[in-house]
Structure 1
Amino acid sequence: MKRLCILLMMAVVAGCSPDYRTPNDGKPVAPGEVRLSLTQTDPARAASDARAAVASGDRHLLGVYGYASYVPGADGRPSEFGPENWPAGILYIEDTTDGPRDGGHQTFNDRAVAYAIAYNKVVLASPVTAP
């Protein structure tokens, strides 16, 4: 009986954890895009990922697709460079959309936006160093 209860609990937890897999697995990533997994879009790791990128000289911002493409956390930011003219460029997170396929895709989409907000915040706040 105890095993049955454990198996049932595992099935319920598995059913509540939406799976996400990009339909583009195995295909090349389009220019101007970056392919990230559900794990890689964990907002808790965004700041450290951004600091590492900036330390290596990579100051790109992350964008997502929705009704229109946008840069979470940077749109409307007053600066000499609007996000659309960001000198280091913008990489859009592949497979983001305003029309998710299923619950797993919706979870990925939500995490990608949260990740991009946290990532862009660090990049925008980091001082630009001379080459």
Structure 2
Amino acid sequence: MAVLPPWAREVIARYESGTAGCFILHGNINDQFLLPAKDGGPRLGRLNDYLLEVLLPQFEVVLSYELGLGLKVERGKEIVAEWSGGGDDRLRASPTDPLTAIRDLTHYLIYCRNLRVINREAPRVAVIVRQA
């Protein structure tokens, strides 16, 4: 794998130091990124692939939201299913209703926080908001 680009190193440093937990990525977001080798060696992919495979592998649940598509479980469907009673239907907000999506997302994040409060294992959750 190639050396991380400066912006990715900065995101990692700020997150791991605890100085920031929320980041806005802008400019050239449609560029191709070098991804880890699979069977045939390194490959190119989209920013979403780079985030999931390179910057967010330690998160058990990754949720994404895009206005036209609603909420999506990118990783951890089986974990989210424990909360929603058998599927990720509870996170299926209407694409035209961002308020519902934000409420569902907030409820899930509060649920995860409450698991920690009662000393139960809670998943590490990352949220990606596209085209924000």
Q: Same fold (TM over 0.5)?
A: no
| Larger RCO, structures 1/2 (Cα 8 Å, 6+ apart) | 1
Considering fraction of residues, name the structure with more strand: 2
Higher radius of gyration, 1 or 2: 1
TM-score, normalised via structure 1 length: 0.28
